[in-house]
Amino acid sequence: MNHLSAWDYFVFLIYFAAVSTYGYWVYHHKKKGKPADTKTYFLAQGSLTWWAIGASVIASNISAEHFIGMSGSGFAMGLAIASYEWMAAATLIIVAVFFLPIYLKNHIYTMPQFLAGRYNNTVSTLMTVFWLLVYVFVNLTSIFFLGAAAVETITGIPFNVAVVGLAVFSAIITLGGMKVIGYTDVLQVLVLVLGGLITCYMALHLVSDKLNGKGVLDAFSLLRSQAGDHFHMIFHKGDKFYDQLPGIAVLVGGLWINNLNYWGCNQYIVQRALGADLKTGRAGLIFAAFLKLLIPVIVVIPGIAAYVLYQHGYFHSEMVDSAGILKPDHAYPVLMNLLPTGIKGLAFAALTAAIVASLAGKCNSIATIFTLDIYKKYINKNASEQKLVSLGKWSVIVASVIAVVVAPALRSFDQVYQFIQEYVGFISPGILAIFLLGFFWKRTTSAAALTAALLTIPLSVLFKFLPQLSHGVIAPIPFLNRMSWDFCIVIGLMVVITLLDPESKNNPKGLEIEPKMFRITPAFAVASVVICGILAALYTVFW
């Protein structure tokens, strides 16, 4: 298998030097001789522009799980996996209009802080533990695994060495704080978009060349003719991948629960906008929504191209493991190895940019939650700002070490992207129910929220294993549908528990919501209509 040439490494080193130098400059230029406090270090309060917020949101979201995992799902199931990206664009509009004003009005800096203020410390602490476990053992671990596996495939660098290298690179960015992360993310997004588009172009060019097409534009038609089953957004019962994307649920069901939780109740996503004013934060999120529309072009189309080439007998040996088992997640690295010298280095830089930016964002959020919602709250209430910042940096290192050690355990999964979505979905219904009722129903009680927090995982586990427990009487339930059932049950229980409490009528912790909080500017309204129009067109064409 091909590996990086000297010119590829040269291109990559230019990228590495540019990001590191820019991050160093941002750190010292913005610092201005003052020691960092927690709001500055963790949130970069008041210093991120709308384009930095939007870029940072996408950089934190897009990682190896997309370049490798989503591309692998594109290879296996086709364009349908793009629903996670395209529906996310619509979700970001909702978060910008309805969620962000509530956070900013109530001066919320962390998700556990909101839960403590709206409910109580028990609910907050329980969810804090859930978040930290998921962030470290699912999100961070999967990024390290996919990133290191890709580096190993592309460069020949051993997996363990690649993991450590990614950890060190991301630590360089993360330890500078949110300002460094936010502004270097702009550069990271430029690199990952440019490199991703070039890889997509080269993949389509390869399809055209191998299948006697008439150019890159003709290659898309070739993909649709050669893999027509890979260009449907909506699966039906009986389809091979219906259990992963169960029909209309991607438009009106469980995918909304997944997306609203991820984009609206997720520390390492919302954190970018929490340090800004409402106008800037909304502009950043709508910018991120536009970028989201582009992501399937970068990662899913190359996966479909790899599938078509594989079906025509190309790189069979590269797509299987040592046991001869087809591995869809090999698709993107295999395509990258076919790129010309220099271009391959840029594509590798783009992949690395996505990995490092996402690692930095997640590590910063882990450090924020642990430092402010665990250490300061329960261990050392009188800790100085400098002490908290220092502890945050050590939290980054510890979380990274744990994830690096656990990462090799994911080798047994064929499509890691689906693993991430399913297991994060174990807590998503309960979290979203707690936040939505906490936002918009003043009566919602702490007892109701605690019930939701305690039951969401057991309900998810029950629905997952119900077919086995019923000895096959009940058919397997797609995980997006399991999330819908879980969410409805939890919401129902929260409503009943709240109504049974007579004191809930005068709940002092209920939020004051005013209609004027949700007013939007004409420019935001136009941008939202454009995004929704594009989504309607995409689903109409590729239904």
| 488 part of a folded domain | no
Q: For residues 32 and 198, what is the distance between their CA atoms, to the nearest angstrom?
A: 39
* Distances 179 to 41, 173, 206, 268, 354 between C-alpha atoms, Å: 7, 10, 40, 14, 18
Query: Is residue 239 within 8 Å of 229, Cβ to Cβ?
Result: no
Nearest-CA neighbor of 399 among 423, 370, 428, 376? 370
CATH at residue 355: 1.20.1730.10
Report the pLDDT value the prediction gives residue 37, as an integer from 0 to 100. 59
Nearest-CA neighbor of 100 among 350, 270, 338? 270
pTM over 0.85: no
| 496 part of a folded domain | no
| 500 part of a folded domain | no
Nearest-CA neighbor of 483 among 261, 266, 264? 261
* Distances 253 to 187, 260, 494, 528 between C-alpha atoms, Å: 36, 12, 20, 21
Structure tokens at 174: 């993360």
Residue range(s) defining the domain that contains residue 391: 6-27+46-424+513-541
Report the pLDDT value the prediction gives residue 1, as an integer from 0 to 100. 46
| 483 part of a folded domain | no
| 439 part of a folded domain | no
| 494 part of a folded domain | no
Burial (CB < 10 A; 0-12, 13-18, 19+), residue 533, is exposed
Q: For residues 97 and 191, what is the distance between their CA atoms, to the nearest angstrom?
A: 30
Query: Is residue 188 within 8 Å of 353, Cβ to Cβ?
Result: yes
| Cα Dmax for the chain | 74
Q: For residues 220 and 206, what is the distance between their CA atoms, to the nearest angstrom?
A: 11
Which parts of the chain sit beneath pLDDT 70?
1-2, 28-47, 64-65, 175-179, 182, 268, 272, 275, 316, 321-323, 411-423
Q: For residues 382 and 376, what is the distance between their CA atoms, to the nearest angstrom?
A: 7
How far does CA 266 lie from the centroid of its chain?
A: 10
Report the pLDDT value the prediction gives residue 492, as an integer from 0 to 100. 95
How far does CA 297 lie from the centroid of its chain?
A: 17
| 490 part of a folded domain | no
Structure tokens at 481: 């549908």
Q: For residues 356 and 343, what is the distance between their CA atoms, to the nearest angstrom?
A: 20
Tens of pLDDT, residue by residue over 492-510, are 999 999 999 888 888 888 8
Query: Is residue 208 within 8 Å of 219, Cβ to Cβ?
Result: yes
Query: Is residue 50 within 8 Å of 272, Cβ to Cβ?
Result: no
The total of structural domains in the chain comes to 1
State the residue for tokens 């908290």: 388
DSSP lists the bridge partners of residue 326 as 320
| 84 part of a folded domain | yes
Report the pLDDT value the prediction gives residue 45, as an integer from 0 to 100. 56
